[in-house]
Chain A
Amino acid sequence: GEDVEQSLFLSVREGDSSVINCTYTDSSSTYLYWYKQEPGAGLQLLTYIFSNMDMKQDQRLTVLLNKKDKHLSLRIADTQTGDSAIYFCALVKGNTPLVFGKGTRLSVIA
C-alpha cells in the first residue's frame, strides 16, 4: 500500500469544524507536516509536528498525532470558504525527502 494515505474528499458547512485524516506506514518518521494547495498555486506550509509530540495547536489549526495507530489529523475550527483547498499530509525521516499523500480536497459549503 501507499506510504501515506488520505481520504480524497471532505465537505463541510461554513462555520463547522473540519477534520482531515492521514495514516502512514513508517513509524520512524520524525516530522509530520500539513500543506495546503489552492488551485494553480504551490504548496503552503500550514503546520508540522515533531514525532515526540501528541498535539500542536496554532490558532484555528489543531494537529493530533497518534503514534501507536500511525495516524495524523488536522482539525480546522470555524471553517471558512477560504479554507477550500487540497490538504496534503507529508512526513520525513531524518534527512530523507518529504513523502506526500495524495491529498484531501476540502469543500466548504456556504
Chain B
Amino acid sequence: EAGVAQSPRYKIIEKRQSVAFWCNPISGHATLYWYQQILGQGPKLLIQFQNNGVVDDSQLPKDRFSAERLKGVDSTLKIQPAKLEDSAVYLCASSTNYEQYFGPGTRLTVT
C-alpha cells in the first residue's frame, strides 16, 4: 500500500513570496490533515478535512494560509505572502479509524 505522498520535499522562498504544497493521501482515507512542525516542536494542526469538507481550521492563519481538497482526494496548502516565521516542515497526514499516517513533509525555508 502506498503511503502519503507530498511534494515538493524542500522549498526556499523569500518573504512575501507565495508557495504551494501538494498532498496525496493513502487511497480510501477520507480524513486528511495538514500540520506545521516548527524546529524542536511537535506537529500542530493547521486544518482537517473530511472528504472535501473542512472539519477544523481554527488554527489556520487565514489571512495568509489557504487549503483545499478538491474531489475529496488530493489537497493543496498555500501560503501567500510568506513570512519568516512560516519556516517549518509542513506535514500532511491521512487517517482511517484510529490510525493516522504521515507523509515525509515539505521543509519550507523563508529568507
Contact status B98-A90, CB under 8 Å: no
**Secondary structure call for the B interface:** strand
**Secondary structure call for the A interface:** strand
Partner of B42, one of A31, A40, A50, A101: A101
Partner of A42, one of B45, B98, B105: B105
> What total of chain B residues lie within 8 Å of the partner, measured CB to CB?
23
> What total of chain A residues lie within 8 Å of the partner, measured CB to CB?
22
Q: In this assembly, does A55 line the interface, its C-beta being within 8 Å of a C-beta of chain B?
A: no
Residues of chain B lying within 8 A (CB to CB) of residue A98: 43, 45, 100
Q: Which residue of chain A is the closest to B3 with respect to CB atoms? A: A42
Q: Which residue of chain B is the closest to A43 with respect to CB atoms? A: B102
Contact status A102-B41, CB under 8 Å: yes
Q: In this assembly, does B14 line the interface, its C-beta being within 8 Å of a C-beta of chain A?
A: no
Q: How far does the alpha carbon of A88 sit from the alpha carbon of B42 in the complex, in Å? A: 7
Q: In this assembly, does B4 line the interface, its C-beta being within 8 Å of a C-beta of chain A?
A: yes
Contact status A42-B103, CB under 8 Å: yes
Contact status B102-A100, CB under 8 Å: no
Contact status B41-A44, CB under 8 Å: no
Q: How far does the alpha carbon of A92 sit from the alpha carbon of B101 in the complex, in Å? A: 14
A-B residue pairs in contact (CB < 8 Å), sample of 28: A31-B98, A35-B102, A41-B104, A42-B4, A42-B6, A42-B91, A42-B102, A42-B103, A43-B91, A43-B102, A44-B102, A45-B100, A45-B101, A45-B102, A48-B98, A50-B98, A88-B43, A92-B98, A95-B55, A97-B33, A97-B45, A98-B43, A98-B45, A98-B100, A102-B40, A102-B41, A103-B41, A103-B42
List 18 other contacts, CB 8 Å, given A42-B103, A45-B99, A102-B42: A31-B98, A33-B100, A35-B102, A42-B6, A42-B102, A42-B104, A43-B43, A45-B100, A45-B101, A48-B98, A88-B42, A88-B43, A90-B42, A92-B98, A97-B48, A98-B100, A100-B43, A102-B40
